[in-house]
């Protein structure tokens, strides 16, 4: 069990309070003035040199947003956010549209090196093992700084670039699909994102193409008092396949930072998209100060027949997580999957889950959610499964398990199930358990110390979900889980 051992060793080198990614990179930034109004929306659009149609799209969203109120139905509690006290655009100054790694500010590259992710990429650049290659897009504050492997992907016909670049180079695709899964009117945060999104990733896989490598985006919030609003759009054309990974970190800061992303996935006939996230935004300190407010709208549209979308998430960071990666099962025979590990410790609040909307005939979905609550945290699974009148033969299987560590945390499961036709078969299983003192004692009697014992039991608990992650990510996630639970017992 080398990964668990490694986990434990990593844990031992870290202080309770030590968020590994909590450094600030000293880089000169170009900031928009604080606050949000039509001028700021125009400023962002102008900075990106956008076409009129996109500016109009943003303005429409902004006007809509002004009429909306912040949702309060989640179980997360936090002081009201002052949306006028934030910068809505921040860009590293020295990087006007880099074309290759050489053009990127070395300070930025050092940041990515510190974060670990690019090590893999650097290996890749050095020509290590072709099957392990990962193409990376990195978004620093608001701007995409580097996308690797573009040329090679282009050979396969795959487009992988920042969304700003896609607006310029592939306007017909962006215009055709942007906002078709998460409309600008969708919800408070998605609408805000539509008005002010600054960058993000864009992927298009042409018909019949199996993307030759994993695609990955790395998000980093650096600037203080900045909101990060990235927008990701992935289109898998008929019969294609893509696996996409996303990682997130932020510096330690005493104030809360806002992150409101939108991700839209579109799978056409027989296409498959696998989307994996390891979210490790700064969770706040042990007193509950600081941390990222993570309000994210992620939705996949199985638009074509027999298409498939699979979400896998490992959520360990953020002070508040409000996130429901969902699937609209529109195409006949399409299928959706949601695999989730949500860990909360300290004062973190998680309200996360999924929606599986069955519209087409013989559509299937599977939900496997594992929540782990420790410290004084609160961890809620909220999930909706519904079948439309025409969705005959719809099937869903849901399994939600919660594990409590200690007696000051909470776990909640809130399922919404709705079947409008009699042929739908929905199954729901849920369990809540506590790491029993007896279980820990048993492991310790065999020689494991307390932290090794917790890591072993927790890794057993989340195993089925970890297995869904690409190999390298699974190891990373396993480490992260142990680090997140550091100091949760005893």
Binder of other proteins out of 195, 372, 448, 469 (CB under 8 A):
448
Give dist(CA 283, CA 313) in Å, integer.
16
Would you count residue 1 as binding other proteins (CB under 8 A)? Answer: yes
Binding-site string for other proteins from residue 461 to residue 490, where x marks contact by CB under 8 A and - marks none: xxxx--------------------------
Binder of other proteins out of 77, 155, 389, 446 (CB under 8 A):
446
Give dist(CA 197, CA 194) in Å, integer.
6
Residue 431 Cβ vs other proteins, minimum distance, rounded to whole Å: 10
Question: Which region among 141-149, 239-247, 301-309, 460-468 touches other proteins (by CB under 8 A)?
Answer: 460-468
Binder of other proteins out of 443, 474, 480, 481 (CB under 8 A):
443
Residue 286 Cβ vs other proteins, minimum distance, rounded to whole Å: 24
Would you count residue 332 as binding other proteins (CB under 8 A)? Answer: no
Residues in binding contact with other proteins, number by CB under 8 A: 26
Binder of other proteins out of 85, 255, 450, 472 (CB under 8 A):
450
Question: Which region among 26-34, 45-53, 385-393, 430-438 touches other proteins (by CB under 8 A)?
Answer: 430-438
Would you count residue 266 as binding other proteins (CB under 8 A)? Answer: no
Residue 1 Cβ vs other proteins, minimum distance, rounded to whole Å: 5
Question: Which region among 22-30, 32-40, 171-179, 444-452 touches other proteins (by CB under 8 A)?
Answer: 444-452
Would you count residue 404 as binding other proteins (CB under 8 A)? Answer: no
380: tokens are 């809620």
Residue 476 Cβ vs other proteins, minimum distance, rounded to whole Å: 19
Would you count residue 454 as binding other proteins (CB under 8 A)? Answer: no
Residue 290 Cβ vs other proteins, minimum distance, rounded to whole Å: 33
Q: Which of 117, 95, 114, 115 is nearest to 104 (CA)?
A: 95
Question: Which region among 20-28, 340-348, 352-360, 458-466 touches other proteins (by CB under 8 A)?
Answer: 458-466
Would you count residue 452 as binding other proteins (CB under 8 A)? Answer: yes
Which residues in 5-44 contact other proteins (CB under 8 A)?
5
Question: Which region among 50-58, 84-92, 452-460, 475-483 touches other proteins (by CB under 8 A)?
Answer: 452-460
Residue with Cβ nearer other proteins (318 or 413)? 413
Binder of other proteins out of 115, 242, 456, 480 (CB under 8 A):
456
Residue 11 Cβ vs other proteins, minimum distance, rounded to whole Å: 14
Would you count residue 436 as binding other proteins (CB under 8 A)? Answer: yes
Footprint of other proteins on this chain (CB under 8 A)?
A: 1, 4-5, 436-439, 441-450, 452, 456-457, 459-464
């Amino acid at each position: 069990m080398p990964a668990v051992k490694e986990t434990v060793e990593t844990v031992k080198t870290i202080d309770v309070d030590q968020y590994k990614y909590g450094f600030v990179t000293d880089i000169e930034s170009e900031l928009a003035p604080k606050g949000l109004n039509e001028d700021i929306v125009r400023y962002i659009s102008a900075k990106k040199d956008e076409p009129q149609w996109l500016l109009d799209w943003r303005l429409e969203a902004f006007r809509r947003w002004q009429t909306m109120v912040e949702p309060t139905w989640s179980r997360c509690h936090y002081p009201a956010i002052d949306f006028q006290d934030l910068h809505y655009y921040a860009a590293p100054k020295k990087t006007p549209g880099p074309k290759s790694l050489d053009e990127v500010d070395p300070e930025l590259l050092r940041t990515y090196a510190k974060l670990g992710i690019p090590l893999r990429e650097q290996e890749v650049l050095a020509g290590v093992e072709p099957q392990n290659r990962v193409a990376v897009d990195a978004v620093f504050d608001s701007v995409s700084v580097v996308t690797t492997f573009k040329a090679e992907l282009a050979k396969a016909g795959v487009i992988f670039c920042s969304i700003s670049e896609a607006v310029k180079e592939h306007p017909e695709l962006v215009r055709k699909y942007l906002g078709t899964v998460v409309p600008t009117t969708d919800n408070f945060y998605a609408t805000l994102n539509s008005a002010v999104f600054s960058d993000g990733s864009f992927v298009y896989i042409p018909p019949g193409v199996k993307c030759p490598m994993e695609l990955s985006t790395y998000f980093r919030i650096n600037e203080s008092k900045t909101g990060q609003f990235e927008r990701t759009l992935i289109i898998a054309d008929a019969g294609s396949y893509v696996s996409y990974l996303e990682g997130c970190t932020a510096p330690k800061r005493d104030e809360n930072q806002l992150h409101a992303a939108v991700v839209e996935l579109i799978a056409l006939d027989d296409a498959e998209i696998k989307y994996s996230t390891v979210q490790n935004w700064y969770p706040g300190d042990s007193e509950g100060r600081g941390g990222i407010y993570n309000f994210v709208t992620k939705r996949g549209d199985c638009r074509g027949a027999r298409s498939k979308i699979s979400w896998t998430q490992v959520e360990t960071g953020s002070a508040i997580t409000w996130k429901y990666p969902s699937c609209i099962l529109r195409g006949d025979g399409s299928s959706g999957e949601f695999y989730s590990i949500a860990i909360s410790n300290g004062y973190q609040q998680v309200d996360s889950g999924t929606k599986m909307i069955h519209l087409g005939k013989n559509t299937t979905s599977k939900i496997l959610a594992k929540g782990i609550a420790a410290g004084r945290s609160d961890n809620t699974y909220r999930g909706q499964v519904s079948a439309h009148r025409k969705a005959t033969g719809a099937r869903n299987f849901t399994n939600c398990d919660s594990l409590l560590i200690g007696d000051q945390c909470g776990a909640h499961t809130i399922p919404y199930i709705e079947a409008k036709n009699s042929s739908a078969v929905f199954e729901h299983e849920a369990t809540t358990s506590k790491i029993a003192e007896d279980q820990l004692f048993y492991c310790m009697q065999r020689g494991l110390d307390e932290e090794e014992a917790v890591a072993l039991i927790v890794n057993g608990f989340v195993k089925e979900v970890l297995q869904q992650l690409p190999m390298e990510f699974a190891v990373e996630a396993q480490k992260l889980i142990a680090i997140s639970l550091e100091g949760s017992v005893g």
